[in-house]
Amino acid sequence: MSAFTDLRHYIEHLTETLGSDEVRRVDGADRDADIGGITELMAEREGPALLFDNIPGFPPGYRVFTNFMGTAARTAVALGLAPDTPKLDIVRAWKDLAGRLEPIPPVRVETGAVLENVLVGDDVDLGVFPTPRWHDGDGGRYIGTACMVITRDPDTGWVNIGTYRACVQGRDRLSLWMLGNRHALAIARKYWARGRTCPIAVVVGQDPILSTAAAMAAPAGMSEYDLAGGLRGRGVEVLLPPGSELPVPAHAEIVIEGELPPVEEESVLEGPFGEWTGYYTHSGQETVVRVTRILHRDDPIILGAPPMLPTVPAGDQAVPLYSASVTWEHLEASGVQNVKGVWAYARQLMMVVSIEQTGAGDAMHALFAALGRKRTGGMERYFVVVDEDIDITDINHVLWAMFTRVDPKESIQVLRAPTTAIDPRLAPERREAGDLSMGVVLIDACKPFAWKDRFPAANRFDEATREALRGRWKGVLPL
């Protein structure tokens, strides 16, 4: 897989493999009025990655990079695959790799580009960076949208990494919003129980494999650094900043170091922040990092993945691919026969599985097994199973199956399952009562197995014929 040394290496590689148009440089965009909007408009049409420079009020070279994995091609490159890898093959490659993954621990180095600038004492000022206000309804400027929050278990030394949104709250204050089951919160509680603050480092600007690993749900005790090393095939280069126990990527763009006091001792109003569901749901008194030191490279780059409507392929595109690959793996482990692929729509709101039916009940087995992967904190809402002739990476093809192979009275089941605290459809009284449950829909859009062979034939050219036509009519059929 990929082994980019840092974010800059990835940006260079994108232009080398996909052409210079793949990373659009934008000069003079305002961090409040323009950057978030341009990012969203470009993402909606699956446009290029964006590198904002000459941001008014900031030195030239202090940049913001967005839409970094906003297309299948960029995601493939980020994961070290050929840019023209078919969408489902990206999921398959990811699943196969995860299945045989050997964690590789990070490699300790003595120095790295992140130490080019070290701000301490009165020089500590988060305001030196051009942090954007991503959406106009946001309650602040979020420097951490695709960040890595690093903590270390005081008992075992386990280094955990998670992605939690981070908002600039002053020169030396950064708020974090961590949901209740997050590992960093569990680690912080151990320090708090001993009357100590929790040492913490927030990394802004790292290569896409590290970004992806940071948001993966590695089990407690396993470091996401080891996971990232396994995914890259080589250990991540990390260094221990002087006096710190927290390893940080040696070539990160920005590292914000500090301590996290208990929320009862210090907290700040956090949010609202436009979330990945496309809504604002959370705002409240949250934890604060007291920033003690900032490290950054010359001409630092903020890596931004602002949430957008879930139907827009956002910067962190590897998340739905990863989700699909984990469900695929789970289906196979559950004994579902002949799984041909899994695809996630709207990030994870609709999971679509294709199978080759070999017996009655296969489709229902696939639906229930896919549902079985859902946990508290996940928001999968619709589960659909289709036959192998459906291209599940094409929403129109999936809709065709749903519209024509489903008898709504027979083929749809509605159940209740866990959801996430940011589910916009959770009724206020349920949320207040701590009831995080929501309906889910299981849709069997396969041809009924009992009379599958008598199902009307489709009047659509098959893949082999399409391929042959494309070959014969290259000028007319460029696709």
Interface contacts to ligand FMN, rule CB under 6 A = 146, 160, 162-165, 177-179, 182-184, 215-217, 305, 316, 319
The C-alpha angle with vertex 16 and arms to 10 and 19, in degrees rounded to 5, equals 115
* Residue nearest to ligand FMN as judged by C-beta position: 162
List the one residue out of 325, 367, 165, 152 whose CA is nearest residue 246. 152
| Shortest separation between residue 369's beta carbon and ligand FMN, angstroms | 22
Nearest to ligand FMN of 90, 336 (CB atom): 90
| Shortest separation between residue 123's beta carbon and ligand FMN, angstroms | 28
Two structure tokens written together for 386: 């289709």
| Shortest separation between residue 216's beta carbon and ligand FMN, angstroms | 6
| Shortest separation between residue 163's beta carbon and ligand FMN, angstroms | 4
| Shortest separation between residue 305's beta carbon and ligand FMN, angstroms | 5
Nearest to ligand FMN of 308, 363 (CB atom): 308
| Shortest separation between residue 187's beta carbon and ligand FMN, angstroms | 9
Nearest to ligand FMN of 112, 208 (CB atom): 208
Nearest to ligand FMN of 114, 216 (CB atom): 216
DSSP 411-479: HEEEEEEE--TT-TTS-HHHHHTT--EEEEEEEE-SPPGGGGGGSPPP-S--HHHHHHHHHHTTTT---
Distance from C-alpha of 374 to C-alpha of 380, rounded to nearest angstrom: 7
Nearest to ligand FMN of 204, 305 (CB atom): 305
Cis peptide before 105 (omega within 30 of 0): no
| Shortest separation between residue 415's beta carbon and ligand FMN, angstroms | 24
Distance from C-alpha of 325 to C-alpha of 233, rounded to nearest angstrom: 19
Nearest to ligand FMN of 146, 369 (CB atom): 146
Whether residue 306 contacts residue 70, with contact meaning beta carbons closer than 8 Å, is answered with no
| Shortest separation between residue 370's beta carbon and ligand FMN, angstroms | 19
The CB density around residue 47, as the number of other CB atoms within 10 Å, is 17
Burial class (CB in 10 A: 0-12, 13-18, 19+), 467: exposed
Distance from C-alpha of 234 to C-alpha of 106, rounded to nearest angstrom: 8
| Shortest separation between residue 306's beta carbon and ligand FMN, angstroms | 9
Distance from C-alpha of 444 to C-alpha of 27, rounded to nearest angstrom: 50
Nearest to ligand FMN of 133, 293 (CB atom): 133
Whether residue 286 contacts residue 49, with contact meaning beta carbons closer than 8 Å, is answered with no
| Shortest separation between residue 184's beta carbon and ligand FMN, angstroms | 6
CA distances from 374 to 67, 238, 276, 398, 432 (A): 27, 34, 18, 21, 22
Nearest to ligand FMN of 238, 386 (CB atom): 238
| Shortest separation between residue 336's beta carbon and ligand FMN, angstroms | 25
Alpha helices of 19-162 — where are they, by DSSP H? Answer: 35-44, 72-78, 87-99
Distance from C-alpha of 422 to C-alpha of 376, rounded to nearest angstrom: 11
Nearest to ligand FMN of 23, 318 (CB atom): 318
Phi-psi region of 61 (alpha: psi -120 to 50; beta: other; left: phi over 0): left
Pairing of strands 254-260, 284-296: antiparallel
| Shortest separation between residue 289's beta carbon and ligand FMN, angstroms | 14
Nearest to ligand FMN of 216, 231 (CB atom): 216
Nearest to ligand FMN of 65, 177 (CB atom): 177
Whether residue 108 contacts residue 240, with contact meaning beta carbons closer than 8 Å, is answered with yes
Nearest to ligand FMN of 77, 166 (CB atom): 166
Distance from C-alpha of 86 to C-alpha of 385, rounded to nearest angstrom: 20
DSSP reduced 3-state for 127: helix
Whether residue 268 contacts residue 172, with contact meaning beta carbons closer than 8 Å, is answered with no
